[in-house]
Amino acid sequence: MPTKWDNLFGSGFLLTLTNEERRYLGLNPLDTKWDTLELYSKTNYWHKRTTVFFDNDVIIKVIYESKKIVNEEIRSESISEYDTNIQTENRTWVLPLTERGKKKKLNATSISAYRPTGCIFGFGTSPKEENSSGISVVNCVNNKHIAMGETEKIRKIKNDAEFHSFMKYYMETCPEDYFDRIKELRESKHVTIKYNTGDIFRAEVDRFRYTYGIITGKVREIRKWKELPKYHSLRNVMMVPILIRFYYIFTTDATLTAKDLAYLPLSRIKICGDNDIIWGTHKIVSHKELQEDDIEFNLFCQKLPKSADNSKESAYETLSANKYVRNNEPFNLYIEWGTASTILLWEDMTQDLKDYFSSYFSPHRSVATSVSYYDLWNKSSSKYKDNLLNDVNKEIREKLFECLQLKADAGFDDFSEKFGGLTKKEIISRL
């Protein structure tokens, strides 16, 4: 008699990869002679099935599926597959990796504690939502991934047949060096790269194209500047962040240098973790001495409770404690650009400013772990729209400057000179 798990997951997988598809996704082939064991678990709304494949007593491959079910409706579902090498005792106990370890009962939890030996393929979708699907292939050991691209096609995949149709197209259109990249993805070791301000890195956009970016600052070093106030927003940024800007270019040329990129415009500044740089996901390919035009900081604003002490120290306490002003409540506005800052009182704001900042979110509100260009170039992105330096906010930025008694076209140095911060030239001397 079918169980509730059988009814939920059925006899097959959400996607059933062919071995030829696995080859393109960085996975080892599956042998139909291997024995399988299905393990089920549930955590809150998530229903999970873990299928393990045995070669004798060794777990050689794992397929993991999950479904989020709310009010008996599947809201999202996903599948992942990876190769592994987990030694077991009689397929009942998972053996430890070291002599000091202890064997554990074989279940979904004990299996998940063991790292894959190579790549992890993942697919996820929301059945009721259009354009919600995604595919990833990543090696967690070396932090490398396949830059598949084809986002618009992938987003539309909803079932096994559509996935195979996409993979047929994908495999037919891969470049000649594709399997060289797969080999590097599967076999390269974990590395730790030293990087410096002014380093230029190359990022893969998809199978054919690259983009380039430059590191314009290390937040850890900036925090040591005596001119950086103790209440500065950069003191509250998590991880090991860096400041980066991308060059506005998509190219098939993987050999561009600082000289080649010199005449290209740069994107807005982004604060992010250095993982993709330090682990070599994005390769450092060149270097340049920073110029004033390379320097940028976010024009950062933070609402403060109107009842609070109108001081910058109060702003720091608010930032540190993540105290937020509710929408439609009066507020004072802490404004920061580079190392300079000021506070604009509620009484001194125009109604336009009050309306705009009542639901405003700063570009500092979260720090991405990855070095991604997507939200910098995508004009539909909330982070793009919230950035006061972008042209979409030119009018509100000019009104803000007017309230601060600055010219409408005031720049970074103008703000710094008025409110006691470092100019771009002075910042370069400290980088």
> Over the stretch 337-387, which tens digit does the pLDDT of each residue have?
999 999 999 999 999 999 888 887 776 666 667 777 776 666 666 666 778
Percentage of the chain surpassing pLDDT 90? 62
Which pLDDT score is estimated for 234? 87
Predicted confidence at residue 398, as pLDDT, reads 95
**Model confidence at 258, in pLDDT bands (50, 70, 90)?**
very high
Mean pLDDT, residues 275-298: 94
pLDDT band at 278 (very low <50, low <70, confident <90, very high): very high
Could you count the other beta carbons within 10 Å of the beta carbon of residue 355? 12
The sign of the torsion formed by the CA atoms of 313, 314, 316, 320 equals positive
In this prediction, residue 404 carries a pLDDT of: 95
Residue 265 tokens read as: 């415009």
| pLDDT average, residue stretch 120-132 | 92
pLDDT of residue 1 exceeding 60, the answer is: no
Q: What is the pLDDT of residue 331?
A: 86
Average pLDDT estimate for 30-42: 92
Q: How confident is the model at residue 42 (pLDDT cuts 50, 70, 90)?
A: confident
CA separation for the pair 159, 169 (Å, rounded) = 16
CB atoms within 10 A of CB 42: 12
Contact status, residue 96 vs residue 102, Cβ threshold 8 Å: yes
Whole-prediction pTM: 0.87
Nearest partner of 310 among 298, 318, 322, 320, judged by Cα: 318
Q: How crowded is residue 378: how many other Cβ atoms within 10 Å of its Cβ?
A: 12
Q: What is the pLDDT, as a whole number, of residue 199?
A: 97
Q: Both tokens of residue 143?
A: 């932090």
| Tokens 């001397």 found at | 429
Burial class (CB in 10 A: 0-12, 13-18, 19+), 9: buried
Residue 326 pLDDT: 67
Inform me whether the pLDDT recorded for 321 exceeds 60. Answer: no
Minimal CA–CA distance to 430: which of 297, 324, 290?
290
How many Å apart are CA 17 and CA 28, to the nearest integer? Answer: 11
Q: How far is CA 145 from CA 15, 80, 213, 280, in A?
A: 20, 15, 18, 11
pLDDT at 140 over 80: yes
Residue 345, Cα to own-chain centre: how many angstroms? 35
Q: Return phi, psi of residue 388, to 5°.
A: -65, -15
Residue 155 clears pLDDT 90, i.e. is over it: yes
379 or 255, higher pLDDT? 255
Residue 110 DSSP class: H
Output 394 or 310, whichever has higher pLDDT. Answer: 394
CA within 13 Å, CB half, 336: 24
